[in-house]
């Protein structure tokens, strides 16, 4: 089981390598893309503002330094869809990244891009993004037949669902699971609302709305109905607060806030999940460092043979925020003690 860490600068390579990263993934948004689309249309699933490299030379330097440390680099080309003009541009970017620059895998979600890359026969691995929402055995078979070597599991899956998919995969394709940081309120592969960095995501903003509920026929809700709906919205706001990092990037003891799957690592190891993904290309170097150290500590404990109960207890002890862990709102995999 490997640890996949986010990176957004060549200067982060040595720090991540020294603290336990086994693989790196990044994004790259060329100047030509920004000139055409500004920040309104994203090339990949992260804002061009802060989460992506901006020059091919920087990507090449990142890959060179990572390879000198023995680390592979994966490039995210995973917007949900591309139109024909964008697809031509992305295809050329993929060709250059795989050939001239030497990235080790391309992370893809758009089916048109996937089919184009399959036809090109590039000498690089293809990883299917969680944006593709592969949720069943037919999806696994489909992507495997198109030459994909890894499938990134959607965040919303439970451990029981992941176990079913792992049995279905049966070694024909690697599986990667999210383990720390950013969440998504919806199934992200089925969500097409804006994530523009100046506008904010729909799922974030809905929690801030002021609203007055009414029935379908326009009548005012009964008091008990209105109270029930208000309770639901209160719970939603609380959950969104956890999903989006508890309002700040780091806790007082320097550890990352936000969705967490540390207690599920023993179960994921039993399922032979190939890689654990730390989300957050847009994060500061400090947050990446803290996230990696946290995951590495628990992975080492699992590798030493510790029991699931011991792992969960140690994860809670390191985090030292029992009031947050107890809600399970912060858990990627709430069924970790039943898997």
pLDDT at 123: 86
For residue 139, what are the contacts with CB-CB under 8 A and spacing of at least 6? 132, 133
DSSP output for 109-153: --HHHHHHHHHHT-SSEEEE-GGG---SHHHHHHHHHTT--EEEP
pLDDT at 170: 84
DSSP lists the bridge partners of residue 127 as: 107, 150
Dig out the tokens for 17 from the structure: 């390598």
CATH of domain 2-198+241-338: 3.20.20.380
pLDDT at 196: 61
Alpha-carbon torsion angle 180, 181, 186, 190, nearest 10: -70
Give CA separation, 295 vs 28, 62, 175, 233, 244, in Å: 25, 23, 18, 32, 19
* Nearest one of 265, 286, 266, 252 to 277, comparing CA atoms: 265
Beta strand spans in the chain (E): 2-6, 23-26, 73-77, 105-108, 125-128, 150-152, 174-180, 275-278
* pLDDT of 244 higher than 90: no
* pLDDT of 325 higher than 70: yes
pLDDT digits (tens, 9 = 90+) for 77-98: 999 999 999 999 999 999 999 9
Question: CA-to-CA distance for 38 and 28, rounded, in angstroms?
Answer: 14
Rounded to the nearest 10 degrees, the angle between the axes of helix 111-120 and helix 84-96 is 40
- Mean pLDDT throughout 218-247? 88
Task: Please tell me what DSSP assigns to residue 40.
Answer: T
Domain boundaries, the chain: 2-198+241-338
pLDDT digits (tens, 9 = 90+) for 176-204: 999 999 888 788 888 776 666 566 677 77
CA 2 to chain centre: 15
Least confident of 36-40, 107-111, 281-285: 36-40
* Confidence category of residue 237, pLDDT binned at 50, 70, 90: confident
**Total Cβ atoms within 10 A of residue 8:** 24
pLDDT digits (tens, 9 = 90+) for 258-295: 999 999 999 999 999 999 999 999 999 999 999 999 99
pLDDT at 252: 87
DSSP output for 295-336: HHHHHHHHHTT--HHHHHHHHHHHH--HHHHTT-TTBS-TTG
* pTM for the whole structure: 0.92
End-to-end CA distance of the chain: 18
């Amino acid at each position: 089981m490997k640890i996949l860490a986010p990176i957004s600068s060549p200067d982060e390579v040595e720090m991540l390598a020294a603290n336990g990263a086994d693989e790196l993934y990044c994004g790259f948004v060329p100047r030509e893309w920004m000139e055409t689309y500004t920040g309104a249309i994203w090339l990949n699933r992260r804002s061009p503002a802060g989460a992506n490299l901006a020059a091919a030379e920087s990507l090449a330097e990142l890959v060179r330094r990572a390879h000198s440390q023995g680390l592979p680099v994966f490039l995210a080309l995973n917007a949900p869809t591309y139109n024909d003009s964008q697809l031509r541009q992305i295809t050329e970017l993929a060709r250059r990244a795989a050939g001239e620059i030497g990235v080790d895998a391309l992370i893809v979600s758009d089916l048109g891009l996937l089919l184009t890359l399959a036809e090109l026969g590039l000498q690089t691995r293809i990883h299917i993004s969680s944006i593709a929402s592969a949720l069943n055995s037919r999806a696994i078979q489909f992507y495997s037949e198109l030459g994909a070597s890894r499938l990134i599991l959607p965040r919303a899956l439970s451990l029981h669902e992941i176990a079913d998919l792992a049995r279905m995969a049966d070694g024909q394709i690697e599986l990667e699971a999210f383990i720390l940081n950013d969440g998504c309120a919806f199934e992200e592969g089925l969500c097409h609302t804006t994530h523009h960095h100046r506008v904010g995501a729909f799922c974030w903003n809905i929690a801030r709305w002021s609203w007055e509920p009414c029935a379908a026929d326009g009548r005012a809700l009964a008091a008990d109905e209105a109270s029930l709906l208000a309770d639901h919205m209160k719970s939603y706001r609380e959950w969104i607060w956890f999903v989006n990092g508890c309002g700040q990037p780091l806790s007082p003891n320097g550890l990352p806030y936000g969705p967490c799957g540390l207690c599920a690592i023993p179960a994921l190891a039993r399922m032979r999940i190939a890689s654990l993904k730390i989300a957050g290309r847009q994060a500061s170097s400090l947050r990446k460092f803290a996230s990696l150290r946290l995951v590495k500590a628990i992975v080492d404990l699992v590798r030493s043979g510790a029991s699931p109960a011991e792992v969960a207890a140690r994860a809670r002890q390191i985090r030292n925020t029992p009031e947050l862990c107890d809600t399970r709102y912060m858990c990627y995999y709430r069924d970790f003690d039943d898997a």
